[in-house]
Structure 1
């Protein structure tokens, strides 16, 4: 059981081993799934580059490498420049707002980062203050969602069967949360960002779980809103959704964690009870055996009363050749 001092070392070691095994299994799974496709993509890219260089023999290799290096640093800007599109700074107010949201929520997409030394120093100070404040706010927001779910849980969808009613309320809470914070936003992202529904759902989970790979970023890539003002509104709404979604998913993950903890404690309790029962049974068997030995010893003592133990003068029987260790002689009662 959990104590006020926290989990013991044994439980911590078991949990650490479990996490390491889980990580190793995950590494093996993703290595198997993603390894061959990556090699295939790189072979295709290699063939494309060789074909491109072959068709443009006038290009110098070093110059091409320099162009690719520069484009890699500002890919979106380079792409829009080649398409003759107007490029706005990423560090305007709405762009900076999206950046600080990813900082204080620890999502960290990686698409936008300070390049100057003052910016990097400011980021460290800003994050040290902003992350705790945001966590406190998300904790309060999670408590509000918990109260809301408690009220929903009191609904009587099936008043005749309390267990069925509890299950239905839990399903209702989960479905409401998934619909409002996953399905509807994923549909919007799929429309505005030109993603598939699966890609949009993937983005929702990666973002709200603060994994934040940065391979998909809503409200930052080119979208179909057209005007700058609508894009700003879209971006702000997106990050408000992130704040509520973080609280909900954190609440859901905490619930799953508590279920695992309770199951582990229940298994530990059952194992402890079985061991205690087995030890009690063994103690009873030993007690019975001890009583039996004591009773046998008492019978032996009673049967040899009036007799004396003496060592034989000659330990070897001449007739049988057997060895006699002790000889019992009847004592004279008189």
Structure 2
């Protein structure tokens, strides 16, 4: 023991640094560390984009002023054309010239406003910390609403690099957190629904044993059910209360997973309809489009912004929290549904094999 302690004390500085880095990396990619890593990465991205794009609204304002001047100039040209055709008034010629001017105006307007985007009137709000945080989250989750986009060259380059690093990181987050939530939910489900002391538990165990193709266990359970559950409930509750369940044998029904996802979407729809003053349909539509990472961007949070003293829009923060928790919950449900589908397929294969074996035995006995 003394030799080990002395060897640890007399380790070179380089070895100590390597060990510390190794432990740090292992912690960062653990279940707890990956959550902090994703949140920290999103916060860093928010600060970075806020710094880069926060200076850009001046160029957007200039584009808006250019568009106003273009509109006024087109109105003057249209007035001049009208004056030329008052005497004599030739309607067909006037319509032709007016259409030509309007078409030129449309082309010039698109050329002038290219890169300004649909958020030119409220760019300063979109690139606040909370807006930049939501933008960073939509980048790494591949939702990409499209209502807020970088205008500067550095902003576009940063977005590409940020997405290349952030998307695998977020996928790792979904994998780890989804697995943790799935195991926790399976344990809770086994304790609450499959506990052996609960009324009717034997019939549920019989059904699940037959579902998984465990015929010997199913026959035993069926015999116990036929003998009578009431006579054995007292002894079973005392002798089997300490039993544990193998997580590999417990599966959650697909209908329950679907109910959880639908409930989360409906709950978010109610909250967003209250917060953003939307109707329930728009809230449900937004939640589904966001959690499925489709992200059309036609309905986005922030139309009714509630800001605190520091100017942080709580709508953006609430939406970010909803997305992070919701996507982890969906990953959990997909994990559970995948296990249930695999169990059902294996159950079908085992049942077919069992029936085939029985038919062969009957045929052999008949001959």
Provide the TM-score with structure 1 as the length reference. 0.51
Following superposition, the deviation at residue 165 of structure 1 comes to 7.9
Contact 1:141 1:244 in 2 (8 A): no
Match of 1:246 among 319, 327, 333: 327
- Where does residue 108 of structure 2 map in the other structure? 66
Match of 1:210 among 287, 293, 301: 293
- Where does residue 193 of structure 1 map in the other structure? 276
- Where does residue 256 of structure 1 map in the other structure? 337
* Alignment CA distance shift 1:98-1:187 (3 Å): same
Structure 1 runs not aligned, ≥5 long: 1-52, 81-85, 289-334
Q: Higher helix fraction: Structure 1 or Structure 2?
A: 2
Deviations 1:91-146 (A, max 9, x none): 33222211110112222223333344433332232222222222233333324433
- Where does residue 152 of structure 1 map in the other structure? 188
* Alignment CA distance shift 1:269-1:124 (3 Å): farther
- Where does residue 216 of structure 2 map in the other structure? none
Q: How does 1:259-298 map to 2 (within 5 A)?
A: 259-268=340-349
Structure 2 runs not aligned, ≥5 long: 1-93, 209-251
- Where does residue 147 of structure 2 map in the other structure? 111
Match of 2:160 among 124, 136, 143: 124
Deviations 1:282-334 (A, max 9, x none): x98xxx9xxxxxxxxxxxxxxxxxxxxxxxxxxxxxxxxxxxxxxxxxxxxxx
* Alignment CA distance shift 1:235-1:262 (3 Å): same
* Alignment CA distance shift 1:202-1:61 (3 Å): same
- Where does residue 171 of structure 2 map in the other structure? 135
Higher relative contact order (CA 8 A, sep 6+): 2
Residues of 1 paired with 2:183 and 2:169: CA distance? 21
Residues of 2 paired with 1:128 and 1:87: CA distance? 25
Deviations 1:70-106 (A, max 9, x none): 568546445x4xxxxx652533322221111011222
Contact 1:159 1:165 in 2 (8 A): no
* Alignment CA distance shift 1:201-1:272 (3 Å): same
Following superposition, the deviation at residue 162 of structure 1 comes to 1.9
Q: Report how many residues are paired.
A: 222
* Alignment CA distance shift 1:211-1:275 (3 Å): farther
CA RMSD of aligned residues (A): 4.4
* Alignment CA distance shift 1:73-1:196 (3 Å): farther
